[in-house]
A and B are shown apart, each in its own frame.
Chain A
Amino acid sequence: MNLLHKLTEKPWLAQPEGAELALAEDTSLRFPARTALKFFIAIVSVLFFLFSITFLSRSQFPNFQALAGEPWLPLSHPSQLWFNSGLLLLASVGLELAKRQAARQRVNGLVLALGFAVICSIGFVIGQYLVWLQLSGMGFTISANPANSYFYLLTAVHALHLLGGLLALARLIYLFGERPNLASLQQNLSLCALYWHYLLLLWLFLFTLLAAPADAYRAIAAFCGL
């Protein structure tokens, strides 16, 4: 509504003297990095949306064999993936805690929570790699079937985004070491926490998609008209 109101302004009409200054908010309240992160999350969402659409479309071609659904298929009981999901959830919780510790100016708690989050994140990436090894060991290699190709592709792209987040977090910690400023750190940690929560949600979506049986794909594809 607010945007609609802005877009219907008539800028050619004269404003009363001094109104311009009232229109602008205080610049010190602006936090451009949050806006940029929201856009970035939108871009990543579009990326995965497009991957998913192609996945659903490809799943309707005859040689596609889902990775779950029958007892002998590897993702019918994906215990390692559940474990990895737990790690990512813990990482997300850890960052949320770190953000709150920074807000309360508790440095010890902050370091503990951050360390926990980083270890869980790295654990998630390693866990995903172990799933890759298990799958390829069982003969489910990347080019053997399109469902496998998508599994490797989507988990790799997701893990790359997490590694990118870890790089950003490392830079944040380095900058904090250079110039300790808890207020600024808390603000930036809130961005990291938001990004981690997003990656968790994204992973849960991918997990659901990749570990679904062929019937589910058929139903979704029919619903989407694919």
Chain B
Amino acid sequence: MNYTAIADRPDESHHPTTFVTKYIWSQDHKVIAIQYAGTAIFVGLIALVLSGMMRLQLGFPDSFSFINPSDYLQFVTMHGMIMVIYLLTALLLGGFGNYLIPLMLGARDMVFPYLNMLSYWTYLLSVIVLLASFFVPGGPAGAGWTLYPPQSILQGTPGNDMGIIMMLASLGIFIVAFTMGGLNYVTTVLQARAKGMTLMRMPLTIWGIFVATILGLLAFPALLVSAIMMLLDKLVGTSFFMPALVSLGEPLSYQGGSPILFQHLFWFFGHPEVYIVALPAFGMVSDVIATHARKNIFGYRMMVWAIVAIGGLSFLVWAHHMYVSGMNPYFGFFFATTTLIIAVPTALKVYNWVLTLWRGNIHMTLPMMFAIGFIFTFTHGGLTGLFLGNVVVDLPLSDTYFVVGHFHMVMGVSPIMVLFAAIYHWFPKITGRFLNTSLGKLHFWITFLGTYAIYLPMHYLGFLGVPRRYFAMGADYIPESAQTLNASITVSALIVGLAQLVFIANLLWSIFRGQPAGDNPWNATTLEWQTATTPPGHGNWGAELPVVYRWAYDYSVPGVKADFIPQNCPQSAVELVADERAAADVSGERGGPYNEPTA
């Protein structure tokens, strides 16, 4: 069987001819990527509005009559679930994974384009089911994004009826969509690489996406198992997770189930999920930093090994989310140890990013600003993770704002900083135009400083003992100074939220009016920048597939005239400087015609 993705001369009959097959029922990975990204950003904006509503209530309690305690819990639940799964997972893997895998590997498309298309439409269905739950009687699920039973399906919890059913159904549909997409990503990486593209010549972006996809394929079944079993508990009356209970004075028919079992299953998915989001971000930020510092990534092999090690270890740390649920002390000790061990490859990556910047020819472009911002936010979020990984420290802090501050820094802000870096970096390839630099800088500074204004004080509130998940603290429950801080967090959050409108406006304006960028504006080495047309046409590469002659990080190679050598450039075509002394002279500042956008 001949697969279009790896065929040197694609079958012309596969080219879409009508508007519908080109842009709607499209099997082209680039269109599917944009569909994924558009849907994910749309649903992410809804989650952003929900967080704004939560912050309004927390910052100014008793001021907004349209937010009652049930609404608040539903906002918390939907915000968390949407952001983690329907935005981050979908945008990083469905969006960037789809766009970059074939282009960076020199393939024409994913190996199963039809399955890829089905993946997107199934994802869209899951989003529609999830959003529809806002309009069912009782509203959406309100049990917290972890959906812990028994309270998630019991009377008294908002959305305990149709809301939770639709949430679980939507998750099941999402997992089917992800599995279809994920099978495509791993198979394409393993089977559709261009000639010469060995595994160790793949850009780190691909390594991150590849390992994250394997994590997803192995971790999402845990969520599926728990969703199916909880649906049966809710709909059929089984007792997988439900213990014997008395609800509203009436004994229920459930007996003997174990809520802790659900927690194990949920976090067996939930912790790898952190790395499903983080690993693609690690990969993309590595490529952004190397390109904009005009320097090869420091310790490429270590970076690859660290990605693989983090992927493996991520399955051994799940119970650190459950210290407060109670467990055998040896169990806690084991998970605290593995949690601290996983910090080693993670820290190694941070050092390597910083060492890549060291003495690099740093161009303070927008992608680079967001990438450096990411190093800050990720380091701060990671360090507080070391606190929480220890059982004795976690127990008093677990239900406080310290945890909210920690995981938003490490899993919210950090991947989103990378997503912005990636969007500013690859937008010129996707559309052929730059995003506006002035608006971008405004967006960066408000977002970067604003997120610190939001999340740093939360750590302090956590130390004070301010509990998370509460609708209102009450006048005497926390000191007035803490409430003042809470109000300031809300003001910051609203400003950061509004700043994202600047980004959306920039995105929309630049698609049509942005400064033209050319094929390879950043003088990058990786294959996606070497396409004949920008944006790349259907089939990506014209008549012949590219051949790869080198790794992805030949920046500022001593003795070479230009400061980068594309991966598809043979040694014989590399232009050397006249003599070795000249080579030494220019090795530090060989800036080629770096087509930076004007402000």
Contact = CB atoms under 8 A, between A and B. Distances in A.
A200 B221 CA distance: 21
B127 interface: no
Contacts of B238: 142-143, 146, 149, 153
A7 B304 contact: yes
A32 B3 contact: yes
B196 A23 contact: yes
Contact of B201 (A11, A32, A43, A153): A11
Contact of A6 (B7, B186, B198, B547): B198
B304 A20 contact: no
Given A20-B547, A50-B222, A32 B268 contact: no
Given A47-B221, A54-B225, A146-B240, A24 B183 contact: no
Contacts of A46: 218, 221-222
A136 interface: no
B108 to A, nearest CB: 11
Contacts of A58: 240, 257-258, 261
Interface in A1-30: 6-12, 14-15, 17, 20-21, 23-24, 27-28, 30
Given A8-B301, A35-B191, A17 B571 contact: yes
B296 interface: yes
Contact of A51 (B191, B199, B225, B554): B225
A42 B6 CA distance: 25
Given A11-B300, A20-B195, A42 B200 contact: no
B187 interface: yes
Given A12-B296, A142-B238, A47 B261 contact: no
Contact of B192 (A32, A33, A157): A32
B549 A15 contact: yes
- Is chain A's interface secondary structure helix, strand, loop, or mixed overall? helix
Contact of B1 (A6, A8, A33, A50): A33
Given A24-B196, A30-B191, A33-B1, A143 B236 contact: yes
Interface string A145-163: 0100100010001000000
Contact of A7 (B2, B200, B201, B225): B200
A57 B258 contact: yes
A132 to B, nearest CB: 13
A149 B257 CA distance: 12
Interface in B212-226: 217-218, 221-222, 224-225
Interface in B241-293: 253, 255-258, 261, 265, 268
A83 interface: no
Contacts of A146: 238-240, 256-257
A187 interface: yes
Nearest to B304: A7
Interface string B163-193: 0000000000000000100011011101111
A153 B217 contact: no
A36 interface: yes
A173 B448 CA distance: 57
Contact of B195 (A10, A11, A21, A28): A21
Interface in B116-139: none
Interface string B529-548: 00000000000000000011
Given A6-B199, A32-B3, A14 B261 contact: no
Nearest to A150: B240
Interface string A183-217: 01001100000000000000000000000000000
A16 to B, nearest CB: 9
A9 B550 CA distance: 12
Central interface residue in B1, B2, B112, by most chain A CB within 10 Å: B1
Contacts of A82: none
A36 B301 contact: no
A47 B222 CA distance: 7
Given A17-B572, A58-B258, A27 B6 contact: yes
B192 A11 contact: no
Contacts of A142: 232, 236, 238
B473 to A, nearest CB: 38
Contact of A43 (B7, B218, B256, B304): B218
Nearest to A30: B191
A23 B201 CA distance: 12
Interface of B: 1-3, 5-8, 111-112, 179, 183-184, 186-188, 190-201, 217-218, 221-222, 224-225, 228-229, 232, 236-240, 253, 255-258, 261, 265, 268, 296, 300-301, 304-305, 308, 547-551, 553-554, 570-572
The 9 closest A-B pairs by CB, nearest first: A20-B196, A11-B551, A63-B256, A24-B195, A143-B237, A149-B238, A47-B221, A32-B111, A9-B200
8 contacts: A10-B301, A20-B195, A24-B195, A35-B187, A46-B218, A54-B240, A58-B257, A143-B239
Given A15-B549, A54-B240, 5 more contacts: A32-B191, A36-B111, A43-B179, A143-B239, A153-B229
